[in-house]
Structures are given as C-alpha cells and as structure tokens.
Amino acid sequence: HHLPSILVPISRHVFKPMLHAGYTKVQAAFVVFLISAFFHEYLVSVPLRMLKLWAFTAMLAQVPLAYLTPRVLRGVYGNAVVWLALILGQPIAILMYCHDYYIMHVFAAAAAARAPATQI
C-alpha cells in the first residue's frame, strides 16, 4: 500500500516514530493531522499576510466529524455529510479568508484615505 509522496516524510518522521514510542495509531494520526493543519494554515497565512486560523480550524473540525458521522448517521446520510463537508467546507473557508483580507486591507485602506489629516 503506497502513500502519496507528500505523506512519506510525515509517515517516516512522525507517524512511525510515534508508534515505536508506544503511542496508538489514533494518537499518531491525530498528531500528523495537527501538523498538516498547521502547514495548511501557514501556506495560506503567509501570502495573505494575516493569521486567522480558518484553515487550521476547518481541518481540525474534520476530526470530530469523522468520529461522530458513522456513530450518528448511517448509510446515505453519513455519505451525504462527508460530501457536503468536502464540497462546501473549502469554499466557505476561502470566502472567510477573502472577507477578512478585504476588511483588513481594502476596507482599512479606504477608511484611512477618508480620515482627516492630523496636524503636528
């Protein structure tokens, strides 16, 4: 069973050493997921020059969703929740970044331009 090339270093340097150290697969997978969420947020935050944690929070929200969905919903309903999270989750997170970027950069610059000049 082959991993995507991006996951090989994470598996080699985080997941497997944690298993050898006595952690469970669930604990090791959660740490790998946490690291992945951090880097997703980092890759969005640096170019936009703002740290909002939307990507980080959205990725971590998948953990309880993955745990609860099969326990609460069965069959087609559980599948529908997974697909809705995939189809709507990323666009909503992107819209939240766009909104925040606009407020922080565009709206703030326009408000500063309208502000009266102060005398020194």
Active site members: 40
Among 83, 80, 89, 84, CA closest to 60: 89
Neighbours of 38 (CB within 10 A): 13
CA distance 118 to 1: 67
Contacts of 45 (CB under 8 A, 6+ apart): 51, 52
